[in-house]
Structure 1
Amino acid sequence: MSEFPQILGVYSLYLESEVGTGGTADKHANVTYWYARQLSDDDFEVQPLNAHHVPSGVRSVMQRMDFLRQYTPEPTYYRIHTVPALESLARKIDEGEQAFADGDFDTAEAQFIKALMIDDKNIDANYGLGEVYSETKEFNKLKKVLNTLLGLAEAFTYEHRQKFNRFGISLRKNGHYDESIRYYKKSLEIVDDDENVHFNLARVYFEKGQNDHCISCLEAALNLNPEFVEAQRFLKYCQKRLN
C-alpha cells in the first residue's frame, strides 16, 4: 500500500445558491478551487487556493464518500496554474535558504518576501524571514513575523519540527527572550507532550535568570521523559545553583 499523504491535485467545488425571492429569485453558481490530499484510505484533506493558485489557509478533513460526492478533479487547472506557481514558490524559498546559509541576509530577505507575495501564510517562508530578522536584530520586523507564525497552528506541528526548533534556538541565542517565551508557550498550547519544548523553554528562563520557572519546565520535561539525560543534568545544576 502506498504511503500517505498523497497529493491528488486541484479539485473544484460547485455550489448553487438562490438569490432573491418570489418572481425575482434566480440561481447563482459559485465554483471554488481546492488543493486535495489523501491522508489515509478514508480521510481526505482539502485546502483552498489563493489568488496565485497555491494552497493557502485552513485545511479541512472529510471522509472518502463526502469528498468524492462534492469535489471534481481539475487536472488541467492543476497543470497550467498550480504546478508552476508551486514550483516558483519552492524555488524562492530554496534560494532564500541558500542565501541565509551563505550569510547573505539581504538576498535571503528578498527571496522570502517574494515567496510570501505568492503565499503570505507559507510557513517555510515565514520561518526563513523570521530567522533573518532574528540574526539581524530587526526587532519590529521580527515581531511582525512572529505574530504571523503564532497565528498559524500548523507551524508548530511535527511536519515543521526542524524549522520550528531552528527558529526557537535563533530567538534565544540572539537574546530575544520574551519573544522566545511567547513562541514556546504557543507551541505547548498545541502540542503539550513534547519534552524538548519544555527543555528549550527552561533554557530561555535560565538565560533570563528566572530559575523557578526554569526548574518547573525541566520537571515537566522529565515527567514526560524520565530518561531525558540533558534535562536531568540541567535540573541538578539549577538546584545546586539555587542552594
Structure 2
Amino acid sequence: MENFVDTNSTPQDRDDAPCNGDALAACHILGIYSLVKVAATGHGATARTYEQQTWWFVRRSEDDEYIIQALNANSIPSGPLTIITKGDFIRNYRPEPGYYEKRCLPFIESLKKKLAQADKHLAADDFDGAEKEFCKALLLDEKNPKANIELGKIHLQKGDGRKLAAAMHRILSNDAIFQEQERHLFNEFGISLRKEKHFTEAIAFYGKALERNATDEHLHFNIARALAESGNPGAARSHLETALALRPDFEAARRFQTYLGQTGDAAPANTGGQAE
C-alpha cells in the first residue's frame, strides 16, 4: 500500500479556535475568582435556599474574551476551558486576592514536578517509573490531559489490555483532553492506537475528538485510516469526503480516497511503518 502520512493541524491552521495552545499562552492571567450561585432544595414548607460557591482560574485573551477553568479539590485548575463574555465575568465573578499564591501554587508546583519526573523516566525507557509518577499526578489532578494520555500510551506499549481499557474509559469521559490546546496529545495517542491495531479504541477515540472538533479535516483523515485498516472502507471514504469538503487541497486525503476507490470494498493491506 502507498505510504500515507498521519496528519495533524497546527495552531495557525485553526483560525476558528480561540483556545489553541499559542493563543492560550498569550492570554493574560487574571488569577482566581469565585462564583456564588443561589440554589434551592426541598418543596413547599421544607423549601430552602443556599449559596453555592465555586472557584475559577481566569485568563483574558487578546480579543477580550474571558477563559475560565474550575479549580479541583486540590485547588488546581482542571477540566475543560470555557469562554464567557466580559459582561458575564464582571457581573458574576469576584476576585480572591492571594488565593492563587497561598492555595493553588503549592499543588500546581507539586503536579509539575511529578510530570517532569515522569518525563525523565520515559526518556530513559523506564515505563514502570513513569507509570508511578503519572499515577501520582492523577491523584492531584484526575483530569490532567498529559498524565491520562501518557498512561494510556504506556499501557499500550506494555501490552496491558486491562489497564489500557481502564485508561480508555478515563480518557473518553474526560472532555478536557479533546480541547484544541491538547490537540498534539490526543492525535499522537490516536495514531499509536491505530498502529498497534487497536482499531476499535482508535475509532472510538477519534470519534470522541470529532464530537468537539467536527470541522477538523485532519481528524476525519485519521479516523478514515483507522476505519479502512479495520475493514470498513465505506465509512473511511465518507470521512475522506468530509475532509476534502472542508479542505479541497488536502492532498493526502485525496490520494487516500483514490487508493480506496481502486481497491473497492477490500480492506487495505498492512499500513504499518509509515513515516509520520
Q: Using structure 2 for the length normalisation, give the TM-score.
A: 0.75
1:182–1:87 distance in 2 versus 1, CA, 3 Å = same
Structure-to-structure mapping, 1:62-211, within 5 angstroms: 62-211=84-233
Please show how residues 31-42 of structure 1 align to structure 2 within 5 Å: 31-39=53-61, 42=64
Range with greater deviation from structure 2 (67-76 or 192-201): 67-76
Q: Deviations over 1:135-187 (max 9, x none)?
A: 11222222222222222233222211111111111111112110001011111
Letter in 1 for 2:232: Q
Aligned residue identity for 1:219? E
Q: Give the Å deviation of 1:67.
A: 2.5
Q: Letter of the 2:105 partner, please give it.
A: V
Maintained 8 Å contact 2:79/2:175:
no
For the 8 Å contact 1:54–1:85, the answer to whether it is kept is yes
Give the letter aligned to residue 160 of structure 2.
Answer: E
What SS does the corresponding residue of 1:50 show, helix, strand or coil? Answer: coil
Offset of 1:114 from its aligned partner? Answer: 0.8
Taking a change above 3 Å as real, the CA distance of residues 170 and 19 of structure 1, as seen in their structure-2 partners, is closer
Distance 1:57 1:226 in 2: 34
Asked whether the 8 Å contact 1:4–1:38 carries over to 2, the reply is: no
Q: Retained in 2: the 8 A contact 1:203–1:214?
A: yes
* 1:79-138 per-position Cα deviation (integer Å, ceiling 9, x unaligned): 122112112212222322332243211111111111110011111211111111121122
Q: Name which of structure 1's ranges 55-64 and 145-154 shifts more when overlaid on structure 2.
A: 55-64
- Give yes or no for contact 1:127–1:167 (8 Å, CA) kept in 2: yes
Deviation at 1:232, TM superposition (A): 1.8
How has the CA–CA distance of structure 1 residues 58 and 164 changed in structure 2, closer, same or farther, with 3 Å as cutoff? closer
Q: What amino acid is the match of 1:8? A: L
Describe the SS at the equivalent of 1:53. coil
For residues 253 and 180 of structure 2, what CA distance do their matches in structure 1 show?
21
Q: How many residues align?
A: 239
Evaluate the alpha carbon distance shift between residue 139 and residue 19 of structure 1 in structure 2; reply closer, same or farther with a 3 A threshold.
closer
Q: Distance in 2 between matches of 1:219 and 1:181?
A: 17
Q: CA deviation at 1:190?
A: 1.6
Out of 20, 30, 34, the position equivalent to 1:8 is: 30
Between the two proteins, what is the percent identity of the paired residues? 39
Q: 1:29: how far off?
A: 6.4
Letter aligned with residue 188 of structure 1: L
* Gapped regions of structure 1 (runs ≥ 5): 21-25
* Greater mean deviation of Cα atoms: 130-139 or 63-72: 63-72
Tell which has more relative contact order, 1 or 2 (C-alpha 8 A, sep 6+).
Answer: 2
Query: 2:118 touches 2:134 (CA, 8 Å); kept in 1?
Result: yes
Aligned residues: CA RMSD: 2.9
Q: In the alignment, which residue of structure 2 is the partner of 1:23?
A: none
